[in-house]
Amino acid sequence: MELNCSCRSPRPARQKQIQGIHGGGRDDDDDDEDGDGGAAEPGGRGFRGSTFLRRRMELDRDNYIVPADGDETKYTHILLRSIRADVLPKVLHYCKRHAIATDDDRALGGDWDAGFIGSVDLDTLYDLILASEKLEVRGLLGLSCRALADKIKGKSPRETCHILDIRGIFDGRGSFTHMLRSPAILAIRHCCVSRDARRTYGHLNSRLAGVVLIEALRSICLLKYYPVFDDANHDLKLVEKALAALNIVRCQDFTQYEPKLNAFKCSRYYNFENLAFFDFDKESSFQRGPPLHKLPSPESIQRYCLNVISVKACESDVGYPISVFGTVIARDYVDYRCVYLFRRERDDPQLISSPDDMLSLIDPCRALVPIDNVYFETDLKIKCDGGADRVFSKGITEFNWVCIPTYKQTMTVSVYSFLSDVEFLCALVHEPVEATIAINVLKGPCNISRVAASTPGNFKDQIVPCESAGSPSVVGDGESIPLTRSVVAISLDRKLTLFLVGGDACEHLALTLGYSDQVLIRKMGCAVLEVIVGWTYVPKREMPNMFKDIGKHTRLLL
């Protein structure tokens, strides 16, 4: 599809052109004669509802064509291969309608929109979603996505496939998928040199290699096969289109206007996979690895894992202190499921008093493996007593270990959104093993203000399992020191260092722990502490079969 955009009212549409929305003319949605697409010509008002077209007009301001028939209008050619010829005029019609709408029209806009979207069939609705997403027509995108979402509201993925007639995903009814990949059909596709099945039948038998394929072909009536083959291709394209539209609908659920960036942004995981049926809220089912003493060989250990050392709200547009609640999750290639790093309800917010305060992270259910990118999603709010809670941070960022400089062990990534800049400090761990720590007070009381863990010599990048916000915590006999995080990953060839700081800054304890150290008893001031360490390794895991390929262009993440 080639689109001619003009800054003034354009010349009349020629034959084999789609007459789109004209700045000063009538509204026509006529198709071109052969239905293969042509040049749509939106006028001055028609294209303004499309952010994509406006941007292209601005970027290509000096790249235009002036017709040789005396018309001085400047046309910018934009190639739109993915938009159907009969759908583009509908998109431009919507744009012009909303561009010229009066206040009274806007008050009744819901009726016009309902009539507009209600007049299209399901196939055209898919095309409108794809076209409005491509052209960035926010109003039409929201309208068409809501129309499709209403059709499947409250339905399971299987019910959704049944309602939208999407075959071959869950129920095995996708015979077209298997048909297109069968040996007989692959042979036909390779050997056919003519559209006439009668004339090519002899050529097929002479050119096929393999007795199995010949026998398969003999069982097929070629006069009946070709329509089936065409239907199979058609059905497959419809399924791919429906899945692409559903993917956009799902992503729209997590897309909102981002005031800091002055743009619409998706706040949850999205990538090249199709997420039409992906469960964004399902937690990872994998747990920690086996005990270290059961390690078969060093080759069984994952090459890398990731330590999230700290998460800080290093910028706040509303100042400090603030009470924050919500979630911070991570995803990796293991199963793309939720691995929670921070989770607090509204009744239990954390007080952040300065940019240096760290969120009280919790232990992830398993180690994060950065073979591919690791994605961090924030959904944090500020608790406001006597008023509505405010969105503090809602967005996504990714950690790519190849970006870490060779001279550094850590890297910082951030989510810059809404009222904050949330910063993640991450460290890459080579051949990782995990230490699970517990500290008991055998004889007390014991005053604890801080517990930190790191590798020997690295006193800057410390994981802080325990830190008192105000006065030191007093732990009595037989009690355990409360640790928000008890798991630390270190390299197989390194040791773990623990730093315990009491109520008095001079009262502290430093321990260096190796794999043979499981229970240590030490004195800190007048208290006697028992430090228990359990060692596990991060195993190489076989990724579950979460992907399903549909056709050539769709890869579902289930």
DSSP string over 32-47 = PTTSS--EE---TTGG
Q: Which residues of 297-310 are buried (b: 16+ CB within 10 A; e: fewer)?
A: eeeebbebbbbbbb
* 91 three-class SS: helix
Looking at the structure, do residues 422 and 441 belong to the same domain, yes or no? no
The answer to the question of residue 268 being in a domain is yes
Q: How many CA atoms lie within 13 A of 114 on its CB side?
A: 6
Looking at the structure, do residues 414 and 362 belong to the same domain, yes or no? yes
Looking at the structure, do residues 420 and 525 belong to the same domain, yes or no? no
Q: How many residues does the chain have?
A: 558
DSSP string over 400-459 = -GGGS-TT-SEEEEEEEETTEEEEEEEEEEESEEEEEEEEEEEE--EEESEEEEE-TT--
Looking at the structure, do residues 77 and 221 belong to the same domain, yes or no? yes
Looking at the structure, do residues 322 and 445 belong to the same domain, yes or no? no
Looking at the structure, do residues 237 and 341 belong to the same domain, yes or no? no
Looking at the structure, do residues 391 and 506 belong to the same domain, yes or no? no
The answer to the question of residue 27 being in a domain is no
Question: What token pair was written down for 520?
Answer: 């240590």
Looking at the structure, do residues 463 and 532 belong to the same domain, yes or no? yes
DSSP string over 144-193 = HHHHHHHHSTT--HHHHHHHTT--SSSSS--HHHHHHHSHHHHHHHHH--
Burial of 62 (C-beta count, 10 Å sphere; 0-12/13-18/19+): exposed
The answer to the question of residue 379 being in a domain is yes
Looking at the structure, do residues 223 and 93 belong to the same domain, yes or no? yes
Distances (CA, A) of 251 to 264, 265, 268, 523: 11, 10, 8, 55
The answer to the question of residue 298 being in a domain is no
* 505 three-class SS: coil
Looking at the structure, do residues 227 and 317 belong to the same domain, yes or no? no
Q: How many domains does the chain have?
A: 3
Out of 430, 455, 477, pick the residue that ends a domain.
430
Secondary structure element (H or E) that encloses residue 29, with its range: none
Whole-model pTM: value is: 0.78
Looking at the structure, do residues 220 and 85 belong to the same domain, yes or no? yes
Distances (CA, A) of 203 to 206, 209, 226, 230: 5, 12, 16, 21
Any idea which residue has 């830190």 for tokens?
Answer: 467
* 107 three-class SS: helix
CATH number of domain containing 455: 2.60.40
The answer to the question of residue 18 being in a domain is no
Do residues 550 and 462 lie in contact, with contact meaning Cβ atoms separated by under 8 Å? no
DSSP string over 242-310 = HHHHHHHHHHHHTEEEETTTTEEEE-S---SSB-TT--TTPBP------BGGG---GGGB-SEEEEEEE
Specify the pairing of strand 446-448 against strand 473-475: antiparallel
Residue by residue, pLDDT tens for the chain (558 residues) are 555 554 443 433 333 333 333 333 333 333 333 333 434 454 455 555 677 777 666 666 666 555 555 556 666 667 777 788 888 889 888 888 887 766 655 555 578 888 889 899 999 999 999 999 988 888 899 999 999 999 999 888 889 988 888 887 875 544 344 444 444 444 444 444 344 444 444 444 444 434 444 444 444 444 344 444 455 576 778 888 899 999 999 999 898 888 888 888 889 988 878 888 989 999 999 999 999 989 998 889 999 999 999 999 999 999 999 999 999 999 998 889 999 999 999 999 999 999 999 999 999 999 999 988 999 999 999 999 877 899 999 999 999 988 887 778 889 999 999 999 999 999 999 999 999 999 999 987 888 888 999 877 677 788 988 888 777 888 888 899 889 899 999 998 888 989 988 877 678 888 888 888 789 999 988 889 999 999 999 998 888 888 888 877 778 887
Q: Which of 525, 502, 520 is nearest to 435 (CA)?
A: 520
Q: Which domain holds residue 417?
A: 304-430
Out of 414, 430, 446, pick the residue that ends a domain.
430
The answer to the question of residue 558 being in a domain is no
Q: What angle do CA 442, 443, 445 make, to 5 degrees?
A: 120
Looking at the structure, do residues 127 and 232 belong to the same domain, yes or no? yes
The answer to the question of residue 108 being in a domain is yes
The answer to the question of residue 547 being in a domain is no
- Please name the amino acid found at residue 276: A
